[in-house]
Each structure stands twice: as C-alpha cells, then as structure tokens.
Structure 1
Amino acid sequence: MRDIYQFYPTGERLAAKAWAKFKRPVRHLCDPSAGKGHLIRHAKEGFPGLADEDIPWVAEVEDTEVQEGRFRARVRDYARQKFSSLPNVSVIEIDVQHHSALKELGAKIIGYDFMNVSSLASMSHVLMNPPFSQGCAHVLHAWECVYDAELVAIINAETIRNPFSQERQKLVSLIEKFGSVEFLQDEFTDDVERTTKVEVALVYLEKVPRQYVDIDHLTKGLQRGDSQYSEIDPETCSALALPGNFIQDTCYRFEQAVQAARQASEAQALAAKLRDGLGITLEEMQAKGVGSDYREIASSVREMANADFSERYADLKVRAWSQILRSTILTDKLSNQARRKIEADSKLIYDLEFNAANIHGFLMGVAQSLGDIYTEMILMLFDSIIERMRAVN
C-alpha cells in the first residue's frame, strides 16, 4: 500500500528538543501536520519517558526541592510541565482517522489539508513534523501563513544539505537570515511508533513583522507640531467591487477584514504606546499624587497588537462562518429543524479556518449526511410522540 501521508510520529526525545527551541511564551500553538498529536501529547504529559537530562529546559534547572505545605516537591518536576497547559492549541490533520485522538487532547481542529490553509495569522507558535518528502514546501507555506510567530519544524536533513531546487534554496536562505538548524541522527530508530533511519534537520525560524523592530517605520508619516485634519478620501470608504460567487465573495471580504484588523491592532497598539509616552492627565496626577514625570508601565507594542488582533480575528471567523451557516446554500436544502441541529454545533465549525477549501468540505459533508440528519430527526419526533402518549395515559 502506498504511504501517501508518510506518518512518522515524533518520539519523546525529539519532541523535547523541538519544544526547547521556542524562546517566547507560547500563547497559541498550531501543529499543521498533527497526526495523532504526539508532539502535543508528550508536552501535556511532561515527557514521562525521559530523564531530566534529556529535557533541555529541565536540565538547566537546579535539582532542588521546595516546601508545599506538609510536602516537598522537586523544582524539576514543575519544569517538566512547562508546556503542559497551553492556553490555545490548534491542529490541522489530513487523515480524519486521527481526529478523535486530537480531540481527546483538547486540540481544536481548524483544517484538513495544511497546503490549502491560507492564514495562521493568529498563531504565536508553529510546531510541525510534516511528511519528509514535502518538508520544504510545508515549512515555506507555514512561513507565509504566520505573521508574528516562532516556527519549529522536523524535516529530512537532505532538504537542507542538498538545496538543489529554488524552494530548498529559499528555505536555506530563510534559516540563515531568521533562524537556525540542528542536524540529528537516529531520532526515529528507537522508542518511536514507526522507525526509519533518516537523518533529520530541526529547523527554527522566527518571523517578526518589520513594524515591531523599526520604530522609524512605525512613526513614518506622523507629523510633528500642529496640522489641519483633512477629510478622509471618500473613495477609501466606497464599496469594493467583489466577485459574484457567494463563497468567493465571503472569503474575499474575510481576507480583507483580517488584513484591516491586523493594521488596526498595530495602529491601536502604537497609539497606546505613544499616548502612554506622553504621560497622564492633570486629573490623574492629582488623584495619584504624582508629578509630570510619572509614566504608566505599558506592555510592548507586539504584545498589545497580538492580544487585540487575536480577539478581532476570532470575531471575524465567527461572523464569516455565520454567513455560510445562514446562507441560502444551506437554508434552501434543510428544514428549520435540520438547520438548527447544524447550528447547535456552530462552535465546532467556528474553530475551522475560514477558507474556500474548508467551506466546500463542510458543505459537502452536510450534503452527504442529509440522510442521517433526517433519520435522526424522525427518530426524535417518534420519541417525542411516545413520550406524549405515555404522559396522556
């Protein structure tokens, strides 16, 4: 049988090395080649099969104990749990047979085929073990999809050692400019679900928007002194010429809204930073009993922008999927009760990335399951009739 997905689950030792590459706090992780979720599971369980010395961040901690009430606990045991309770974990997995295992881990499935995903803008970290034959394409695609994130990938070392194609050369260039690579032997030979003697490259990349590191760019166009405000160009606010197809139309609107939301979040964060730099008002000085040299401690522009954008992005996804759920594409084919049944699971649908591939996949799934939906509705109606008859008798 042809191995189309090249499913080689990551072992604990390699997973620990991959997680150790992250430098920033993990706010929202995405595994776009999740498989059964081994990378996530190892972290959630605290890498129980590894010695302290095999977990880089644990080995760096002094092996001491702390008092907790009547008991003493090892500091290193706490360090093992560094990635065990992440606030947000999203996954993409093409093999639906693995989805139940991913859901058991509490991960949100946001898509099926990663190469059809168009944006991971709200993710702060990407951790991936893509198919070895497609490693380069997957890493480059992830780089294009993220906006402000760290990326760690486990790929075939030959991809880096033999950069014969333009794609591979581009990846090597990205590593030289924005990251690092570590070559590892025998990571899939022992204590793994499926073995292979391939040498792997552990790739680390950090993508930082230019705006965050170039203050001149941030303040470009801001005039010093006083100036007259001019009215906003009416053409800026005019309706956009959109494609006629409903799904393309909605996707286009969503992409434009996401782009505008990102810009708005950055502008708002910058405005807040510059405002705080001015100081507080006279009334606030009087209330706090401080002078004009007092300044509030503010978060970084990056932190404020990402936090604000995360909320905006989630709201936009809900709005976009809601258009699909209440569109005539569905309502013309479903009874009110069948529609309500689908809408009852809307929170699961909202977790999916909003793109044309996912929309078509969702609609196809609904079409294929119409028979099951109506059968279940008939059974529910029958049960309701029986209950009423029992109540009368």
Structure 2
Amino acid sequence: MDFQYYPTPAALALRAWQKFKNRNFVRVLEPQAGTGELAVAVESLADYYHRRRPTIDCCELDATKHPVLREKDLNVVGVDFLEFGSGAIYSHCIMNPPFAEGAKHVCKAWDVLWDGEIVAIINAETIRNPFSAERKRLARLIEECGEVEFIEDAFIGPDVVREAEVEIALVYLRKCANVKADVFGTLIEELRQDSTTDARLAEGYRQDALPALPESTLENMVLTFNAAVKAMQDCVFAEARSSYYTTMLGETLAVREAGGCTAKDTSVEWVQTEVAKRYSKLKDRAWAGLLRSTNVTTRLSSAAQKRLESEFDEIKKLEFSLRNVYGFLCGLVEKRGEIQMEMVCDIFDLFTRYHSDNAVFYKGWRSNDRHRTCGMRLKTTRVILPGHGRESYHNSLSGESERLLQDFDKVFAMLDGKVEPEVGLTTVFRRDFHFLRSGGRASSSYFDVRFYAGAGTIHFYPKSKELIDRLNRLVGRQRQWLPPESTRVSESFWLQFDQAERFDKELRKEVAVRARGRNFGNVHSDPLDYIARPNHHDDVQVQSAMELVGEACVAVLKRNGIEVDSLIGHNPPMQTTLLLEAASL
C-alpha cells in the first residue's frame, strides 16, 4: 500500500521546529509520523540542550512503522489521524502530511487542538491554488492566525531519503483558547440576572441517567469512555473556574495573617497538563476493562496473561476508539497460534524444570547438524510436581497452586479442542482435598492425581496418551528437536522417539558413566538437570550437557539395534494443529 511516505529531511525538520514561537512544549502531537524523523528533530534545536525532551505522541497509518516509532521513545496513540479526537491536551502539533491531503490534515489539527501552535509541511500548490473548500479555509486560517514560508527543493539533496521536485509551504498557525468562555464561562453575568440562594443551588439535582447505548458491547465501551472523557474535561474546567473566582475573593484572615497563599494555577498550561494526566488514566482503565471483558484472558494461562499485560503498556497509549479496539482484537486473533504455542511450551517447562524424572530423552533432529543434540518428551505414565506442601490445618491448596492447576486444564482442553474440561483439577482438589491428603486418588478430565501433603508433591497420571503425545510433538517441533511435518525421515528416528520411555533407565546409566570426570559447574550436578532447566545454567554448560546426552542416546540406540542418522524413508506426520477457533478469541 502506498502511504505517500516522504521522510522529512533533517534540515527541513529542524526548520519546521524553529517555526514555533512558544518553546514551552507541554505535549506535542505528530499526526503522520512515518518513522519519526520529523518528531525526533526537536533534539537539534539550538536552545534545546537545557531542556528535557518533550512528550511526543504520534499517529501513523502504516502499522509496520509503529515498532520503529516506539524504539525512538515516541508514543503511538493513533492510526488514522483523520479519525483522531483527543487533541485538546496538546500544546503543539507538527506535521508532514500526505501532499494530496495537506489542507484536510491541517484543518483537522486546527479543529482538535484547544490551545496551541501548528507547524505543517505541505505542498505549496495547496496554498497557491485554493480551489476547494478545505484549501480556502486553510488560506483564511493562515491570513487570520498565522503565516507561511515557501521553500523550493526542500526534498532534494544528500540527506533526502525519497526525493521529490516540489515546492513546499511551511505553514505556522496559532490557535488561542477562549479561556473566558471555555473555562471561566459567564457565571457572574448569569448570577447578576438570576439571584440564587444556597438553598436553591441543590434544587432539582439528580444523577444523570446512563447514556442510551447501542447493543454492541464494543460500541458501548467506546461511548462510555467518551462520556467519561467529556465529564473529566468539564471537571477540570470547573476546578479552574472555581479557583479563579475563589482567588478573586481574596484569602481568608487566617491565611493572610500567616503570610500564606492558597491560589491555584488556572493557566491554559495547567488545564492542558491536568486534562492529559487524567485522560491517560481513563485510557488505561478503558483498555484494561476491554482486556478483562473479552474471552481472551479466561482462555490464557497465567504466564500468557503476564506476557499480554506486558505488551499492554504500548497498547494503552492508543486512543480508545472503535477502530483501535477492533485492531487490537484482530491482532490477538492473528497471534492466536503464537500465543497457544507459548502456552503449550510453558506447561511443558513447568513439568520438566522442577523434576528431570518427568521427562525422557531421545536423539534430536536437525537437518543441518550431524552432531544432533537430544530432545525431551514428557512421560505418559506419571509426572510429579513439588512445592505444593500444606499444613494440616489448611483445607485447600494455595492460590498459586490452584492457578497452576488451572493452567494445566486450559492447555489440555485446548489440545483436546475444547473450551474447558468437564472436571477441572481445581474442582477436584477443592471437592476432595481431605480425601487426597489422606492418600486417596481422584480423577479430573485429563489426569488422575495423588497428593502427598507432607512432601508437598502432586502426582499426575495422564488419562490420554494421545494428548501427551500431541503436546510432545508440538514442543519438539517448536524447539527443533523433531523434524518439520513435511520432512522425510527414517522410521528408525520415530521408533526411538516413540520408545524413549523404554530406554530411559539405560540412557540415564549411560549419561552417568559419560559424565564422570566432566565438570558442569558442580561435581554433583546432573547433565540432565542442565537440559531440563536451561534458564538456570550457563549456555555453554547447557550445550555441553546436550551434546553429552546426545552421544549417550546414540550409544544406547546402537546397542538396541536402532540407527537414527539415516534420513531415508517417511513416516506420515501426526497433525498437531491447535484447535481453538479464531471466533473463540
């Protein structure tokens, strides 16, 4: 798609920033940011070195440029500036809009700003030939509220990324807020016409009814947000108005005798700063509310939720508009495969990192590596998780343990193509806790479980070897322990993968023999522990352990008559596509 992208040359960008008369930048808006060349040029201002960089918010239609803008510490708050509606918080607006729509974008900036300055780089023809209503309006604004400078060959030269033989107009506009009308109003004049007592001030008060909202939940949320923003702006104006008239009355005798002053700042800058601060909090609430209200978080594991929330720091900077909300939800749908794979790997790691006996090892596959290292797969018979001990007076597991069990259920239900299990692990432990801690064995949809409270261990007995195998194959392919589904490999490879549990004891003995005299950071360390818990060890030591176990695998398999180096033959791959439908997100 052609976004009419012409990056602003450095010299022109600096010249644009120098057009501003007021260098007290409260908050700056860059409506068509591209990759941020115009925005970051503020750092080159001659008098800038004694000031901190102002907060700069950006809109950019091309979403592929958003990561670049964020890397430059620019806040992405919108996509299409022509749909943007939160300009009252900005003291300055600087722009290099598409030349074909220059007048439309400058007029939009004028409409959304409350009090501030605008500098725009547009095609000179837009000013010289005002044939449309928008161009005529812009010409009037320049005549009444600004100035224009014409520059030739501004987009030609060694520092120009994309050249264009065009004369540009550097437009400056100053919009002044009608503070008396907007903030202070005409209260005194109204009171002169209608004498009001304090008793009548509260007469007729009622709580405003909720706005009549359409049926769509998303539309309701956006409309509610807009109503909250309007009420917040009215509140800030009311505070400024109250302080203004209170100051006109003078100080109380107590304050005057103490030599103090209670006057509150009611300047335009204070109003803009206060509105911006409260607006940011409202956006945070609105985006967080959206995240909580969707079905997404209920289907995500706790680790996946944390990853999504960490990305939310950038998402919540966007204007809370219907377009941005739909864009966010569509992005989640597009990433569902990646999110689901991360959840599967999380659960696999939880089982393996705390107890290396939960996994068995096999010879790993890499098409470009003759010295293949080993891979891991969960046992299909029993896995053990430590760290869940409870005192005798407790009647349930800890909250952290229950969250872990819920994560297991979410992932195995997903692998089973269901929204949730019929009988969850948390339900089993809440219902049968005393039975379990006394040695009983209870069943959920996907596991039989035993609980040893004294040792703090939970023993899981998978009820479906097919689901465990599906998990093992997904993780194996994700981590390149297994070949891609379309790759032809020998039946011997799949044989040693399928029979890994059969060779487990023999493999562990072989690893112990080969590990003698080898130093993995601790004389008592087990190479298998380095593989099961890679995040706890040095990368070089982990690789060394992988190679040792890989060599042990080869030795054990050869003793059992299995050759895995040949890539001849083909075993039909098991389809392990995740079964969550996009609509469920």
1:316 aligns with 2:287: no
- What is the correspondence of 1:39-188 to structure 2 with a 5 Å cutoff? 39-44=38-43, 46=44, 58=46, 79-81=47-49, 85-188=52-155
Q: Which structure has the higher relative contact order (CA within 8 Å, separation 6+)? A: 1
Matching of residues 297-308 of structure 1 within 5 Å: 299-308=265-274
Q: Does residue 359 of the first structure (1) align with residue 325 of the second (2)?
A: yes
Deviations along 1:102-126, one digit per CA (max 9) or x if unpaired, are 1221111112222232322222211
What is the CA distance between 1:337 and its match in structure 2? 5.1
The reply on whether 1:385 has 2:384 as its aligned counterpart is: no
Aligned counterpart in structure 1 of residue 164 of structure 2, from 188, 196, 201: 196
Residues 235-288 of structure 1 show CA distances to partners (whole Å, capped at 9, x for unaligned) of: 662222222211111111211221222122112112112212322222112222
Q: Distance in 1 between matches of 2:170 and 2:128?
A: 12
Match of 1:54 in 2: none
1:214 Cα deviation (Å)?
8.2
Q: What secondary structure does 2:66 align onto?
A: helix
| 1:218–1:270 Cα contact (<8 Å) kept | no
CA pair 310-254 structure 1, distance change in 2 beyond 3 A: same
8 Å Cα contact 1:121-1:146 kept in structure 2: yes
Deviation string 1:177-202 (CA, Å, 9 cap, x unpaired) is: 22222211121112321211211111
Q: For the structure 1 residues 284 and 220, does the alpha-carbon distance in structure 2 shift closer, same or farther, using more than 3 Å as the test?
A: closer
Aligned with 2:93: secondary structure? Answer: strand
C-alpha RMSD of the superposition:
2.6
* Offset, 1:370: 0.8
Residues 87-107 of structure 1, C-alpha deviations (whole Å, 9 max, x = no match): 411111122332232122111
Q: Is the CA contact (8 Å cut-off) linking 1:27 and 1:86 kept in structure 2? A: no
Change in Cα spacing, 1:35 to 1:82, as seen in structure 2 (3 Å) is: farther
What is the DSSP-based 3-state SS (H/G/I as helix, E as strand, rest coil) of the residue aligned with 1:160?
Answer: helix
Return the offset for 1:336: 5.6
The SS at the match of 1:182 is strand
Aligned equivalents of 1:226 and 1:218: distance in 2? 15
Corresponding position: 1:209 with 2:208: no
List alignment gaps of at least 5 residues for structure 2: 358-385, 387-528, 530-585
Structure 2 residue aligned with 1:257 = 228
* C-alpha deviation, 1:208, in angstroms: 2.4
Which whole-Å CA distance do the structure 2 matches of 1:215 and 1:312 have between them? 17
| Residue aligned with 2:351, SS | helix
C-alpha distance in structure 1 between counterparts of 2:256 and 2:66, whole Å:
56
Number of residue pairs the alignment of both structures matches: 354
Q: Is the 8 A contact 1:279 1:296 kept in 2?
A: no
8 Å contact 1:33–1:93 — kept in the other structure? yes
1:31 maps to what in 2?
30
User: Which secondary structure state, in structure 1, belongs to the residue aligned with residue 33 of structure 2?
Assistant: coil
Give, as a single letter, the amino acid of the residue that structure 2 aligns with 1:29: V
1:7 aligns with 2:5: yes
Q: Using the alignment, how far apart are the partners of 1:33 and 1:215 within structure 2? A: 30
How far apart are residue 158 of structure 1 and its match? 0.6
Are residues 339 and 87 of structure 1, via their aligned partners in 2, closer, same or farther at CA, if it must alter by over 3 Å? same
1:160/1:172 contact within 8 Å kept: yes
Structure-2 separation of matches of 1:364 and 1:205:
38
- 1:29-81: CA deviations, max 9, x gaps? 1111111111123222x26xxxxxxxxxx4xxxxxxxxxxxxxxxxxxxx253
Identity of aligned residues (%): 36
Q: State the AA in 1 paired with 2:229.
A: V
CA distance in 2, matches of 1:40, 1:381: 44
Letter in 1 for 2:343: M
Q: CA deviation at 1:329?
A: 5.0
Please say which structure displays the higher CA radius of gyration: 2
**1:346 has 2:346 as partner:** no
